[in-house]
Amino acid sequence: MTALRLQRVTRRFGGVLAVHDVSLEVPVGIRLAIIGPNGAGKTTLFNLVSGEVLPTTGRIEALGTDITRMQPHHRTAIGLGRTYQLTNLFPRLTVLENILLAVQALERTKYVALRTWRAYPHLFERARDMLARFALWDVRNVPVAELSYGEQRELEIALALGTRPRVLLLDEPTAGLAPAETQRVLALIRDLPRTITVLLIEHDMAVVFGVCDHIVVLDHGEVVATGTPEEVARDPRVQQVYLGTRV
Amino acid sequence: MGPRVGAATIAGLAALAVVAAPPFFVHLATLVLIFALLAMSLNLLIGYTGLASFGHAAYFGAGAYAAAVVTLRYHAGFWLAAAVGMAASGLLGALFGLLATRSRGVYFLLITMALGQVTWGLAYRWVSLTGGDNGLPGVPRPAFALGWPMDDARGFYLLALLAVTISLLVLALVVESPFGYALRGIRESESRMRTLGYPVWGYKYAAFVTSTLLAGASGVLHVFLNGFVSPVDLHVSTSAQAMLMVILGGSGTIGGPVVGAASLVLLQNVLSTVTRRWMLILGVLYVLVVLYAPGGIVGLLRRRRPRAWPERGPARP
């Protein structure tokens, strides 16, 4: 089964073609990097898949379901999860409360209004496991706004994993991180089971070559090249639009 | 929890002690309770969901007018009038909510204000139903309702106290529930909540309608306290007052709206006997609170200490 299938997807913002006629097949289990210069349409592509932006034309399918016009929260229910380039958390809530919101997102208990949260220990169990995995346990009662940037980026990924996605979109997960923090995030991505398909927007080529087995190069909203990292690195058009002459 | 329980006990005892006070103070205390209820309903939106409604007088007034009309025209009893009043504001909220909850931030504020002004215009112009500028005077308060003595100020005060206490307890539970935390999540980041899998619009709409029902209850109590309702109750200045109470007391806290309503009602009554320009003083107070105490009075009193959930630690390697 394919994790994600885009068929001739176009998104226009006024006169700008942010994403132009993109077709893409993403098999289950691969680690796909989406690279390209600023303004190439990478984040718009993610927004189209997560449902925050609807395509002008074209069709999007995820895990065998047509999701072209589906509401974002329904997409999460069929197995999509994403992170944001600009950290998008709940700053005035604590780390634990952030994680709890993620792990209960697909549970029916999220509609309960006349019982306290404490009545659902299984949510706490899952939140605890997530926090331990991300080394965020010790800061669980700290409001997210007071975390370091590196911790916020890790929580960003933890939140996305909280809904147990089968297709995970990571928008520049290592942007702005110190080298040691980058290594931690990379290890985390490498440790994800192959049942999870990972799409990654990334500028750091070391990260791309370190974790990804496929690359899609976007430029001006169009797919310029696809293939394994080696193939893409050799592609003369890619060298011209993106990698420059140094590679 | 210690200081909270203490504060609640003191507030409860003070509320009961009012019964022994002269009628004027009982009346004033009833007014405090009624506006506390209005501010609490608004706080669910402003403080917990991040939706600043600037038209809450519409639902306060709808409840008051509906209760007055069924009492005057159809001689409905108190409880029936109360039910009709709350239903009217809830229905109005369900209708206006469809329009307002599609937006957020300053757009939500503007839309709710515009809808509030529409309601005010309706009360002002629909003279055959609302009495226009004159309002609806002479709404009688029954001597007894289901055995509850309401003929004197004390009986009615105790009824208002009961209504506010029940609403406060229910709201305190709701904001600690999974639903309540989802509202907080929406306040912090709608887009994140959406991609996490929450039907954000449904939550906002549910919070909005719940809030308008409570605002309606407050309006019902107000019309039976004064025996009178007029377009002033629907005016944008009433909406502004409610918002000021929430912010002054402390938005996003359970006790804040009560503290804000008490401070403002009492301050108004004292200041208006001293100067005609009391609104100016309230304005300055508002600016000072926004600048120097964004957490309101309750925020100033409460030590900034995040809630620690009771839980067992993970198995350490």
A window 136-175, beta carbon within 8 A of B: 137, 140-143, 159, 162-163
Share of chain A above pLDDT 90, in %: 79
**Residue A12 neighbours by CB distance under 10 Å:** 14
- Taking the C-alpha atoms of residue B188 and residue B233, their distance in angstroms, rounded to an integer, is 32
Which amino acid is present at B42?
L
Check whether B129 has a pLDDT greater than 50.
yes
Delineate the domains of chain A, giving CATH numbers in brackets. Answer: 2-90+164-243 (3.40.50.300)
Question: DSSP code of B233?
Answer: G
Residue-wise pLDDT tens digits, B92-111: 999 999 999 999 889 999 99
What single-letter amino acid sits at A219?
D
What is the CA A222 to chain-centroid distance, rounded? 20
- Res B317: pLDDT: 40
- pLDDT for A195: 94
- Rounded mean pLDDT, B5-31: 85
- Residue A73 to residue A54: CA distance in whole angstroms: 14
Note the pLDDT of residue B306: 56
Under an 8 A CB cutoff, do A120 and B181 touch?
no
Strand, coil or helix: A38: coil
Name the residue of chain B whose CA is nearest to A108's CA: B178
Q: At residue B141, does pLDDT exceed 70?
A: yes
Residue A7 clears pLDDT 60, i.e. is over it: yes
Contacts of B177 in chain A (CB under 8 A): 112-117
Q: Do B306 and A163 touch (CB under 8 A)?
A: no
For testing contact with chain A, the best of B175, B187, B192, B316 (most A CBs within 10 A)? B192
**Mean pLDDT to the nearest integer, A85-108:** 95
What's the whole-number mean pLDDT along residues B55-82?
94
Q: Does the beta-carbon distance from A112 to B200 stay under 8 Å?
A: no
DSSP B247-312: HHH-TTSSSHHHHHHHHHHHHHHHHHHH-TTHHHHHHHHHHHHHHH-TTHHHHHHS---PPPPP-P
A171, A185 contact by CB (below 8 A): no
A83 CB within 8 Å of a chain B CB = no
**pLDDT at position B191 over 90:** yes
Closest CB to B177: pick one of A92, A97, A117: A117
Average pLDDT, chain B: 90
What is the band of B305 on the pLDDT scale with cuts at 50, 70, 90? low
Taking an 8 Å cut-off on Cβ atoms, the answer to whether A73 and B199 are in contact is yes
- The mean per-residue pLDDT over the stretch B156-183 comes to 94
Inter-chain residue contact A114 with B170, CB threshold 8 Å: yes
Q: For chain B, what percent of residues have pLDDT higher than 70? A: 94
| Side-chain-facing half-sphere of A106: CA atoms under 13 Å | 21
**Angle at Cα B112 formed by Cα B107 and Cα B117, nearest 5°?**
125
Nearest Cα residue to B44 out of B223, B165, B192, B182: B182
Strands (E), A64-213: 65-66, 80-82, 167-171, 197-201
Question: Model confidence at A247, in pLDDT bands (50, 70, 90)?
Answer: very low
Least confident interval from A25-39, A82-96, B114-128, B151-165: B151-165
Within 8 A of B313 by CB-CB distance, chain A residues are 128, 137
**A114 near B174, Cβ under 8 Å?**
yes
Residue of B nearest to A96 (CA): B309
Over residues B38-58, the mean pLDDT reads: 96
- Give residue B256's pLDDT band: very low, low, confident or very high (50, 70, 90): very high
**pLDDT score of B291:** 86
Alpha-carbon gap, residue A193 to A208, rounded angstroms? 18
Q: What residues contact residue B127 under an 8 Å CB cut-off, 6+ apart? A: none
pLDDT tens column, A191-236 = 999 999 999 999 888 888 889 999 999 999 999 999 998 888 888 8
Q: Which residue has the higher pLDDT, B11 or B162?
A: B162
In chain B, where the domains are located: 20-234
pLDDT at A174 over 80: yes
Q: How confident is the model at residue B316 (pLDDT cuts 50, 70, 90)?
A: very low
* CA B26/CA A60 separation, integer angstroms: 65
Rounded mean pLDDT, B48-70: 96
**Tell me, what DSSP letter sits at residue B49?**
I
Q: For residue A113, name the pLDDT band (cuts at 50, 70, 90).
A: very high
**Kind and range of the H or E element at A76?**
helix A72-78
pLDDT digits (tens, 9 = 90+) for B257-289: 999 999 999 998 888 888 888 888 888 888 888
Instruction: State the amino acid at position A27 in one-letter form.
Output: P
Q: Which one, of B238, B229, B257, B98, lies nearest residue B164 by Cα? A: B257
Q: Is the pLDDT of residue B315 over 60?
A: no
pLDDT at B304: 57
**Which among B176, B197, B200 has the least Cβ separation from residue A116?**
B176
Which chain A residue lies closest to B252 (C-alpha atoms)?
Answer: A92
> Given an 8 Å threshold on Cβ–Cβ distance, is A101 in contact with B313?
no
Percent of chain A exceeding pLDDT 70 equals 98
